[in-house]
């Protein structure tokens, strides 16, 4: 089955800095890669996603890049703000099921 | 916020008991997936239902079972509860079209504690 590795497990940045979270996947058939943000005690919320026919996607301060050959994808957050502090999960989907990484706790200090 | 709801929000059970968790899908969605999220971990796929039939299953024992109803709401049943079943249980609804599942939207989860 699919295996998703996510790094780093924790990331501390100063407000205004950029943050990068990286994931690798094992199943070359995976074709959809969403990123979820989960605040303490709340549900995971989709923040951005990318499909295998696209190399990069951007939404305001958030961008995702995908390298199908290397089977890795990354989340980039620019101009970080304290409200970006949360746990971020990457995921990969083959036919129908999502396999999640173990998460990255992002802490943005004012 | 998504239109996915779950009940109850919290539940305490003792080892060996049985539990039923419920999920109401977002309007227009025909597929529901269930996940178990242990503390400090990512969600782990339990199973998925499409048109009232199981459409994929993760590495969970048969004591984890489910149902999907004609209105696309769903239940997760867990028999013979074990301490390790303590976790946040999330359902996610989505629309399956052309054989492919689109974006999954999560409910708020049910936090289960097994004593």
pLDDT band at B20 (very low <50, low <70, confident <90, very high): very high
How far are the Cα atoms of B75, B83, B112 from residue B15, in angstroms, in the given order?
A: 20, 6, 12
Q: Are B16 and B103 in contact, with CB atoms under 8 Å apart?
A: no
A76 three-class SS: strand
Residues of A in contact with B43 (CB under 8 A): 44, 89, 98, 100
Of A39, A43, A91, the residue nearest B5 (C-alpha): A43
Mutate to test the interface with B, among A50, A95, A96, A101 (most CBs of B within 10 A): A96
pLDDT tens, position by position, B59-109: 999 999 999 998 889 999 999 999 999 999 999 998 877 766 678 999 999
Of A74, A62, A58, the residue nearest A5 (C-alpha): A74
Average pLDDT, chain A: 94
Q: Quick one: pLDDT at residue A43?
A: 93
pLDDT tens, position by position, B33-46: 999 999 989 999 99
pLDDT tens, position by position, A33-85: 999 999 998 999 999 999 888 899 999 999 999 999 999 999 999 999 999 99
Burial class (CB in 10 A: 0-12, 13-18, 19+), B44: middle
pLDDT band at B29 (very low <50, low <70, confident <90, very high): confident
- Percent with pLDDT over 70 in chain A: 98
Q: Quick one: pLDDT at residue A53?
A: 83
Does B11 contact A at CB distance below 8 Å? no
Q: Quick one: pLDDT at residue A1?
A: 80
Q: Do residue A101 and residue B108 have CB atoms under 8 angstroms apart?
A: no
Q: Give A94→chain B minimum CA distance, Å.
A: 9
- Span A21-41, mean pLDDT? 94
Pick A97's closest partner by Cβ from B48, B99, B103.
B48
Using the structure block, give the residue that is written with the tokens 């999560």.
Answer: B106
Using the structure block, give the residue that is written with the tokens 């089977």.
Answer: A71
Residue A96 clears pLDDT 80, i.e. is over it? no
Q: Give A49→chain B minimum CA distance, Å.
A: 9
Q: Quick one: pLDDT at residue B92?
A: 94
Tokens of B91: 């359902």
Q: Do residue B104 and residue A49 have CB atoms under 8 angstroms apart?
A: no
pLDDT band at A107 (very low <50, low <70, confident <90, very high): very high
- Span A83-102, mean pLDDT? 91
Q: Are A32 and A61 in contact, with CB atoms under 8 Å apart?
A: no
Tokens of A96: 């129908």
């Amino acid at each position: 089955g699919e295996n998703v590795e996510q790094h780093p497990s924790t990331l501390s940045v100063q407000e205004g800095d950029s943050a990068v979270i990286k994931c690798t996947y094992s199943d070359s058939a995976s074709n959809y890669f969403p990123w979820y943000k989960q605040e303490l005690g709340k549900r995971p919320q989709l923040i951005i996603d990318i499909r295998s026919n696209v190399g990069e996607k951007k939404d305001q301060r958030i961008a995702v890049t995908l390298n199908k050959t290397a089977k890795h994808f990354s989340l980039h957050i620019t101009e970080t703000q304290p409200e970006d502090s949360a746990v971020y999960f990457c995921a990969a989907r083959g036919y129908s099921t999502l396999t999640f990484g173990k998460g990255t706790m992002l802490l943005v200090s004012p | 916020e998504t239109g996915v709801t779950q009940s109850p929000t919290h539940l305490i059970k003792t080892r060996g008991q049985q539990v039923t968790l419920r999920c109401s899908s977002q309007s227009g969605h025909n597929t529901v997936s269930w996940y178990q999220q242990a503390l400090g971990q990512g969600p782990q796929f339990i199973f998925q239902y499409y048109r009232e039939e199981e459409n994929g299953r993760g590495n969970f024992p048969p004591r984890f079972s489910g149902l999907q109803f004609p209105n696309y709401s769903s239940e997760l049943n867990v028999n013979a509860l074990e301490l390790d079943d303590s976790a946040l249980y999330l359902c996610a609804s989505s629309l399956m079209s052309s054989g492919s599942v689109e974006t999954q939207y999560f409910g708020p989860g049910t936090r289960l504690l097994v004593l």
